[in-house]
Amino acid sequence: MSPETRKRVLRIIEEMGYQTNALARGLATRETKTIGLVIPDIMNPYFTGITRGVEDAANQRGYNVILCNSDEKPEKEITYLRLLQSKQVDGIIVCSSRLEDERLSSSLSRSKRVVLVNREPVNTQMGSVMVDNQGGAAAAVSHLIDLGHARIGYLNGRPTSNSTNARLSGYKETLRRIGLAQDPELVVDDSPDINGGHRAAIRLLRLKKPPTAMLCFNDLMAVGALRACLSLGRAVPDQMSVVGLDGIQVSEVVTPPLTTIRVPQYDTGRQAMEALAKLLADESLTLPKVVVPTELVVRSSTGPCPNHA
């Protein structure tokens, strides 16, 4: 056996010994040093930021992350949750689940260490990290009202999302509190992406009495709304004000730069992993709900209502 071959054989033996020891430690502690993360749309930069926050915090604690993208499909989400449990991951983070409470609870019945993001816990064993979606939407509507807008459209996302419901509630409650009429035709549902925002905005802009401002479920829909305004010759912000939600990077580089509600996505993911780490240390803990604040960022896409004296 040549010296080079001998070295290779010894290295393989050493590696096998390390892997065997690692497996033994895992069997003894029942740990895999992996966690699962389920998100609804890997193409949405909002979830990319949350994923990075989870991953960095997990790696710092010696955990690897298995990322699962459900494509906004509830059945695919269930499949991934079952897969993660069959792989015996140490814990699971579910971001913006599209499942009803009963189905989510049933799908996670075999997991004791779970943290939900943007979702109220479906049992007392789960941790929860919630963005202040209702407060963020309320701040956006208040900003538009301060500019003199009274007819404000809302580009709504998917009704299966808790974030959608919370943001819609913030929109409606603020109008009610100010005493402005809620016109049902000003709320348009569509997919939470650029194309969905474009379609929804076109519908609002073609109303007999269109709004003077539009609040969008997220920044991607707001980019679609800006495209719709451009295609129909509505100058932003002189003839139409547009506000997004999430504060993703694209909001800074579109024309005009987008007024938005900034959500600290990275910090949301980091806090979700920190909550899960506490459950990994003691699964009997009852964790308090974490609420992540939002921030209004005013840019050039909003201006005074053109009809406001």
Q: Which domains, ranges and CATH numbers included, belong to the chain? A: 3-132+265-292 (3.40.50.2300), 133-263 (3.40.50.2300)
Q: Which residue reads 């033994």 in tokens? A: 24
The closest alpha carbon to 142, from 176, 172, 174, 173, belongs to: 174
Q: What are phi and psi of 68, to 5 degrees?
A: -125, 125
Residues for the chain: how many in total? 309
* Amino acid, res. 187: V
Give the pTM.
0.87
Total Cβ atoms within 10 A of residue 273: 26
The enclosing H or E element of 271 equals helix 265-281
Task: Give percent of the chain above pLDDT 90.
Answer: 83
With 60 as the cut, is the pLDDT of residue 13 above it?
no
Tell me the HSE value of 13 on the side-chain side, using a 13 A CA sphere: 6
Looking at residue 120, its amino acid is E
| Per-residue pLDDT, 245 | 98
Kindly tell me if the per-residue pLDDT of 16 is higher than 90: no
3-state SS class at 66: strand
33: left (phi over 0), alpha (psi -120 to 50) or beta: left
Give 26 or 87, the one with higher predicted confidence. Answer: 87
Instruction: Give phi and psi for 232, each to the nearest 5.
Output: -100, 10
Question: 98 near 161, Cβ under 8 Å?
Answer: yes
**pLDDT attached to residue 158:** 81
More confident residue, 54 or 120: 54
Half-sphere exposure of 126 (CA within 13 A, CB side): 24
- For residue 176, the model assigns a pLDDT of 96
Residue 82's CB: how many other CB atoms inside 10 A?
13
Residue 8 has pLDDT above 80, yes or no: no
pLDDT digits (tens, 9 = 90+) for 192-222: 999 999 999 999 999 999 999 999 999 999 9
**Residue 179 φ/ψ region, left for φ over 0, alpha for ψ in the -120 to 50 degree band, beta for the rest:** left
- The structure tokens listed for 8 are 């290779």
Question: Which residues, 6+ apart, have CB-to-CB distance to 133 below 8 Å?
Answer: 118, 162, 163, 166, 167, 170, 245, 294
- pLDDT score for 18: 44
Structure tokens at 148: 């003199």
- What pLDDT is stored for residue 152 in this prediction? 98
* H or E stretch at 225: helix 219-231
Using the structure block, give the residue that is written with the tokens 């569509």.
190
Q: Which amino acid is at 7?
A: K
Mean pLDDT of the chain, nearest integer: 91
Residue 143 · residue 243 · CB < 8 Å = yes
- Tell me the per-residue pLDDT of 95-134, one tens digit each, with 9 for 90 and over: 999 999 999 999 998 898 999 999 999 888 899 999 999 9
Looking at 150-216, list the stretches that DSSP marks H as alpha helix, in order from N- to C-terminal side.
162-178, 194-205
CA dist., res. 135 & res. 217, Å (int) = 13
Q: Which class for 167: exposed (0-12), middle (13-18), buried (19 or more C-beta within 10 A)?
A: buried
Tokens 């780490």 belong to 277
- In the numeric block, the tokens 């096998």 are attached to 16
The stretch 144-172 carries a mean pLDDT of 94
Q: What is the largest CA-CA distance in the chain?
A: 93
Yes or no: say if 57 and 64 are a contact pair by the CB < 8 Å rule.
no
With a pLDDT cut of 70, the percent of the chain lying above it is 90
